[in-house]
Structure 1
Amino acid sequence: MLATQLNHLIEENKLVNNTVIRVRKHVCNNIQNNKVVLIVLDLDILGTDDSSGGVKSEQPPTVAKPATTTSHSCEPEQKTPPKSSTGPFSGGQPSTPGTPGCGLPRVFPIQSLNPYQNRWTIRARVSQKSAIRTWSKQGRDGKLFNFTLVDESGEIRVTGFNAEVDKFYDMIEVNKVYYVSRANLKAANKQFNTTNNDYEMTLHSDSQVLPCEDSDTSSLPETHFNFISIGKLDTQSPGSFVDIVGVVHECGEVQSITAKASQRELRKRELGLVDSSNCLVRLTLWGEEAENFDGASHPVIVIKAAKISDFNGRSLSVSPTSSLLISPTNIPEAIRLKGWYEHEGRFSNFETFRSEMVGSSGGADGVSSSSGVLGGWNLLQDVKASGVGANVKADYFTCKATVVFMKKENFMYQACSTEGCNKKVIDLGNGLYRCEKCARETPDCKWRLLLMAKIADITGDLWVTCFQDAAEVLLGQTAEKLGTIKSTQVNISSSCLINYSILFGVRFIKVTFLCTIDCSLSSHVYLVL
């Protein structure tokens, strides 16, 4: 049996009947009815023999010979393998003829593991380690962390919960080598697992994780990166994971937001990453990584398994399964990129995925082939014809249009004054305002804009909803100032909005619209970013 990393030899017709090979690495597994399966991990192709008899007659002894090596100890007469002095490392067959002797673990390749094996040990290098995270479900709380192990055959994700976090978290270090055994194996959850393995491990109370003291661990690979240029992110599907190297060109401040589902306060920081493709992408850091990050020196960032989002065309985020390296000195791509930025890049003008750059990747009709984005300038008639707004996810387009009408009713509301909360409040009539989202009462509130307007060009018109920032640009007034006018002047709609409608009736504007569907209306409602 071939390991999965050798499947390409079959697909490329390099390994056919009567091919003569040299097996360099292998492992033998006992299965039902005392059958032995030889899994080939590495081989050399020596040639193809047209005479089938000679080649086939020599194969059975090769497979049968390892099958006799069933003892789990160094003493041939020992018949009780579970009581061997080697403890958890006494099971399994050697992966190579050079497997260590008595008292040392007999190692299985990661790629050969499956849930039907009971006794196995792997020797692997830690390529990624997450921070400790907490969880809450059905009244229960807990904590967890995960790390990724890699050897010559592949990689696998390992997760520890609660007591195992206390036991193993401080022990596990990135780039260190460990022996691991007695963990549970289950099918990998591809929503969170970024490895190429079909299985993942879960540690429990009997799991063994021991540092490898062997002097020769050079055969175990370190983290492997498959970098993609920032300029090619629009060719990748939203929700997928990529390896990215970029220079921090912009660094935002730490912000606090409230998660809708859990109502927990989250801390985030947005960065602008650039590379030699002269493109900029937004990267979001969360939690301690956001709070502790210092971008003043424009460091190079390397991310293993950054998650792609279609927000603003394309953006990136560091997920719990991602690995973040800052200013690495042992990655050639990072060193070259830092030199480029110091001598040339810092003076460049960078394109973003929000407008022009996205449009340049579109087809002849201006529709990007990678996501719901209409590139270049679009006529409103073409926007309607393309079915924008019919997708579950947001669609984007850019247009030149005239504001021909603004709704005068209910274009602003009183919102919660808590930072990060824009929920509408209830005026209790006693000088206090109640926010149902925050579940508290405050003596003040803030004004927020929610302006509905009709825009038009020569081909048609659309209704759009303008939130705070876009509405302030259109009206030329801040929400606070308009709120003051509203509290002292009843006819604010007539005194402000009509004049601005006339002003915008002769003025062209460039706006990017986020399209959604409001089921309560007979037509689409478009939300202005």
Structure 2
Amino acid sequence: MPIKDINDHCYRWSLRARVTHKGKLVFFETGTAGCVMSVDVADAESSEIRIVGFGENAKRLSSEIEQGSVYIFSGNSGVQRSKPAYTPYKSNWEIKASKTMEIKRVEDDLRIPNVFLKRTSVLDASKLSQETFVDVIGGVMWIGQTNISPKDSGAFMRRRMLCLSDESSHSIDMCLWDSKAEDEGSEIEDKLGRGERPIVCVKGGRISDYNGKSISVTGGSTLL
């Protein structure tokens, strides 16, 4: 069934979709220890939905799912309201993975792109309000070094700033967080060092007003 037809009245559902974003397996302790993980999937009709798992279901998603591959996901119930504050695209629903949910990898489907974008220019992105999700494409003008920033929890996160510009003739600062600061950030730095101007695509960046307007690229964002 198309993703757009999924809602909380669906007892039995099945969808064929590509994994467009695979999050990290995150461990937490809030009274009892646990873990959580989510994946975003999209179908041939350009609809997207998030599948989130907890505990053993999160570990299953982590071990069985490969970003970019196409799967048939099937299950009974589990459809619940999405959380707009954490979902970087328009979707009213998300799926809570269960141990009975079926995951079957299938052949690639060229009708489904690797990423769906609702692109916003850098100029328009700079006018958006804080916490708004945005998709942008642009060239990297410069990138800084990785720094360590403290979190309210007492933990520390890596962060790295770069500057992005596009054909709107405007630029905006972008902050890469955690593993993206080192992994994708190092790739960008290497290209700049070779005299190239890397073009990056960000899906689900979050607008921030901290120290001026910028775009935060977090674990829930896709950076290509």
Matched with 2:42 is 150
Percent identity between the two aligned chains: 27
Matches of 1:109 and 1:233, distance apart in 2: 31
Say whether the 8 Å CA contact 1:157–1:195 is kept in structure 2: no
> What pairs up with 1:305-454 in 2 under 5 angstroms?
305-325=204-224
TM-score (norm 2): 0.87
- 1:211 shift after superposition: 0.4
1:439-480 per-position Cα deviation (integer Å, ceiling 9, x unaligned): xxxxxxxxxxxxxxxxxxxxxxxxxxxxxxxxxxxxxxxxxx
Counterpart of 1:178 in structure 2: which amino acid? Y
Whether 1:186 aligns to 2:80 is yes
Say whether the 8 Å CA contact 2:17–2:70 is kept in structure 1: yes
Matches of 2:160 and 2:32, distance apart in 1: 30
Counterpart of 1:126 in structure 2: which amino acid? V
Matched with 1:210 is 104
SS of the counterpart of 1:237? coil
Matches of 1:136 and 1:247, distance apart in 2: 40
- 1:263 shift after superposition: 0.7
SS of the counterpart of 1:191? helix
1:338-395 per-position Cα deviation (integer Å, ceiling 9, x unaligned): xxxxxxxxxxxxxxxxxxxxxxxxxxxxxxxxxxxxxxxxxxxxxxxxxxxxxxxxxx
Counterpart pick for 1:266 among 129, 137, 157: 157
1:315-349 per-position Cα deviation (integer Å, ceiling 9, x unaligned): 01013321111xxxxxxxxxxxxxxxxxxxxxxxx
Whether 1:287 aligns to 2:201 is no
- 1:142 shift after superposition: 2.4
1:38-80 per-position Cα deviation (integer Å, ceiling 9, x unaligned): xxxxxxxxxxxxxxxxxxxxxxxxxxxxxxxxxxxxxxxxxxx
Counterpart pick for 2:167 among 276, 279, 287: 276
Matched with 1:110 is 3
**What CA RMSD, in Å, does the superposition of the two structures yield over aligned residues?**
1.9
Matches of 1:296 and 1:280, distance apart in 2: 21
Summarize the Cα distance change of 1:204–1:290 in structure 2 as closer, same or farther, 3 Å threshold.
same
Matches of 1:160 and 1:266, distance apart in 2: 24
Whether 1:161 aligns to 2:54 is yes
Summarize the Cα distance change of 1:148–1:238 in structure 2 as closer, same or farther, 3 Å threshold.
same
Whether 1:302 aligns to 2:196 is no
- 5+ unaligned residues in a row in structure 1: which ranges? 1-107, 326-529
Counterpart of 1:278 in structure 2: which amino acid? S
1:274-295 per-position Cα deviation (integer Å, ceiling 9, x unaligned): 2233322111111111122211
Matched with 1:247 is 139
Matches of 1:258 and 1:220, distance apart in 2: 39
Whether 1:234 aligns to 2:126 is yes
- 1:296 shift after superposition: 3.2
- 1:221 shift after superposition: 4.0
1:92-147 per-position Cα deviation (integer Å, ceiling 9, x unaligned): xxxxxxxxxxxxxxxx111111222221211111122222223332x223222211
Counterpart of 1:148 in structure 2: which amino acid? D
Matched with 1:257 is 149
Matches of 1:291 and 1:221, distance apart in 2: 27
Larger Rg: 1
Say whether the 8 Å CA contact 1:128–1:147 is kept in structure 2: yes
SS of the counterpart of 1:317? strand
Q: Which has the higher contact order (CA 8 A, sep 6+)?
A: 2
TM-score (norm 1): 0.39
Matches of 1:163 and 1:185, distance apart in 2: 18
Counterpart of 1:173 in structure 2: which amino acid? E
Matches of 1:243 and 1:195, distance apart in 2: 9
SS of the counterpart of 2:124? helix
- 1:160 shift after superposition: 1.8
- 1:218 shift after superposition: 3.0
Counterpart pick for 1:224 among 89, 108, 116: 116
Matches of 2:115 and 2:25, distance apart in 1: 21
Say whether the 8 Å CA contact 2:19–2:66 is kept in structure 1: yes
Q: Which has the higher strand share?
A: 2
> What pairs up with 1:445-484 in 2 under 5 angstroms?
none
Counterpart of 2:126 in structure 1: which amino acid? D
Say whether the 8 Å CA contact 2:89–2:133 is kept in structure 1: no
Counterpart of 1:117 in structure 2: which amino acid? C
Counterpart pick for 2:66 among 173, 195, 211: 173
- 1:163 shift after superposition: 1.3
- 5+ unaligned residues in a row in structure 2: which ranges? 193-197
SS of the counterpart of 1:196? coil
Q: How many residues align?
A: 214
Say whether the 8 Å CA contact 2:88–2:134 is kept in structure 1: no
Whether 1:119 aligns to 2:18 is no
- 1:230 shift after superposition: 1.2
Counterpart of 2:130 in structure 1: which amino acid? P
Matches of 1:145 and 1:246, distance apart in 2: 29
Say whether the 8 Å CA contact 1:282–1:316 is kept in structure 2: yes
Matches of 2:40 and 2:206, distance apart in 1: 17
Matched with 2:195 is none
